Amino acid sequence: MSGEVNWFELAVDDTAKATKFFGTVLGWQTAPFEGQDYHLVTNGAAGAIAPKSAELPASRVYFHVADLDATLAKIGELGGKPGDTIPIPGFGRIAHCHDDQGTSFSLFQPN
């Protein structure tokens, strides 16, 4: 459904410590994605734990949208900064944006 949080990425300094911490606190089980230091939550929560990087300097939340292009246009009309569309093969498209106050958020349109 449009507007729902459908994915998150927790950007952390140490993924081993974070997977242990959130596993203990929230009961999350995780598995590395394709051998990377990117750990998918496999039991319930829709998200991942990943190392901070230039591409992921802070945690992100993704909101589901039915029409990414229309939503990006609306963001611009309202004074926000629409991000570039990034295809995710086999899944859909995303865009990293900012609202009219500079708050970052991401959008996801599934295939």
pLDDT digits (tens, 9 = 90+) for 25-35: 999 999 999 99
Domain enclosing residue 105, as ranges: 65-111
Question: Do 46 and 73 fall within a single domain?
Answer: no
Question: Are the CB atoms for 43 and 87 separated by under 8 Å?
Answer: no
Question: Do 44 and 73 fall within a single domain?
Answer: no
| pLDDT tens-digit series, residues 44-87 | 889 999 999 999 999 999 999 999 999 999 999 999 999 999 99
Question: Do 32 and 73 fall within a single domain?
Answer: no
Question: Do 111 and 88 fall within a single domain?
Answer: yes
pTM of the model: 0.84
CA–CA separation, 15 vs 5, rounded Å? 22
Task: Say what the pLDDT of residue 1 is.
Answer: 67
> Which residue reads 């996801």 in tokens?
108
Kindly state the percentage of the chain with pLDDT values over 70: 99
> Which residue reads 């596993």 in tokens?
23
Q: Look up residue 17 and give its two tokens.
A: 């410590």
CA 45, 46, 51, 52 torsion-angle sign: negative
Question: Do 40 and 72 fall within a single domain?
Answer: no
Q: Note whether residue 107 is domain-resident.
A: yes
Count of structural domains within the chain:
2
